[in-house]
Amino acid sequence: MGNGMPDRNNSANEHVWVEERLSAYIDDQLNPLERAQLERHLRDCARCQASLASLRWTVSLVKQAPAPALPRQFTLPLPAATPSTRRAPAFGVGLARLATVVATLLLFAVVTVDLLTRLGGGFAASAPAPAALRAVEPTSVALAPSSADETKRATPTASPERLLAVPPAPIAPTLTSPEVTGGGSAASETPSPKFATQNAVGTRTVQRTQPVSPRASATPTVTIAANAPSAALAGTATQTPEARATATPPTVVEARVQPTAAPLPSRPEVATSPLAVSPLRVAEIGLFFFMVFFGALTVMLWRRR
């Protein structure tokens, strides 16, 4: 009972003790013991009785004070800062995030399928076989029927321009690899030096035969994309990047060589190889762009909140 009433009756301390509790007493906020002690003091103390009366009078006056007139309506105008403008981005973020996740999962699935079929197609790719040999590799064509537009792409009537336009992404490794052999691995995510050298071998011919043409302009945009499948692979399938890496560039090389092959009749077999560009590859590239786009969109929307 630290709050107990002082012992000495009618002392200054006791008046203070009562005075401090009159406000709570008015509101019936004292515990029964305190209230009893306070009322016992009040019975004999005119001074504290007067204090209580004036306090009640004050509270009563405050309650009687008139309410100020409302100067206006405070309803919010419809276009005002509203949660709806805040909700839209929140909703958008959720959607973009969902799209990113879906694209990532699909990409993973496609890459896995691609890998499995390639592994099933044999490790011959690791051998320094000519590009044309690997281009004949049936995997890309065999898988093709799953895609709807595969037939168009597979038809020999497809124009070279179109073929060039479709598989731009994998070009990058072939272009960067010469630099890699010369100046280190900074330029690309090549998993092993072997990959770089092999590519260099394959592409050097390409570089030679390929005149720097308008097509070269397509390569810068491609560089990012080219890293995508290999980056995904590096994280998911550490065992296989080499096998895949060696398998991937050749088809690319041929795709690139193809238009230049026309003035070079010495390599006619290469000219047919662009048809080997797998729909899976296209799907990987497409999904990667999809993933990057929505990933960036997610981050953008998130920051804007």
Partner 1 sequence: MDEKAFIFAAQKGDLAAFNQLVRAYQTLVYRTAYRVLGEGASAEDATQDAFISAYKHIREYRGGSFKAWLLRIVTNACYDQLRVKQRRPSASLDAMLIDPDNPAPGADRAAPESPQEFAERQELGETIQRGLATLPPDQRVTLVLADIDGFSYDEVAAATGANVGTVKSRLSRARSALRDFLMTQEELLPSRYRLNNG
Which residues lie near partner 1 (CB under 8 A)?
Answer: 19-24, 27, 29, 53-55, 57-76, 78, 80-84, 86-87
Nearer to partner 1, 46 or 69 (CB): 69
Find which of Zn ion, partner 1, none residue 82 binds, CB within 5 to 8 Å per kind. Answer: partner 1
Nearer to Zn ion, 45 or 292 (CB): 45
Find which of partner 1, Zn ion, none residue 20 binds, CB within 5 to 8 Å per kind. Answer: partner 1
Nearer to Zn ion, 6 or 182 (CB): 6
Assigned token pair, 54: 């004036």
Closest approach of Cβ 103 to partner 1, in Å? 29
Nearer to partner 1, 7 or 27 (CB): 27
Nearer to partner 1, 64 or 155 (CB): 64
Closest approach of Cβ 18 to partner 1, in Å? 12
Residue 276 — φ and ψ, nearest 5°?
Answer: -80, -5
Find which of partner 1, Zn ion, none residue 55 binds, CB within 5 to 8 Å per kind. Answer: partner 1
Dist. CA 254–CA 243, nearest whole Å:
18
Dist. CA 263–CA 248, nearest whole Å:
25
What is the b/e burial string over 117-138, where b = at least 16 CB atoms within 10 angstroms of the residue's CB? bbbebeeebeeeeebbebbebe
Residue found by looking up tokens 């509101």 in the block: 27
Amino acid in the structure at residue 215: R
Find which of partner 1, Zn ion, none residue 162 binds, CB within 5 to 8 Å per kind. Answer: none
DSSP-derived letter for residue 49 is H
Closest approach of Cβ 14 to Zn ion, in Å? 6
Nearer to partner 1, 71 or 183 (CB): 71
Dist. CA 259–CA 176, nearest whole Å:
20
Whether 173 and 248 have beta carbons less than 8 Å apart is answered as yes
Alpha-carbon torsion 291, 293, 299, 301, what sign?
Answer: negative
Alpha-carbon torsion 53, 54, 59, 61, what sign?
Answer: positive
Residues that bind Zn ion (CB under 5 A): 15, 45, 47-48
Closest approach of Cβ 7 to partner 1, in Å? 23
Closest approach of Cβ 100 to partner 1, in Å? 25
Find which of Zn ion, partner 1, none residue 27 binds, CB within 5 to 8 Å per kind. Answer: partner 1
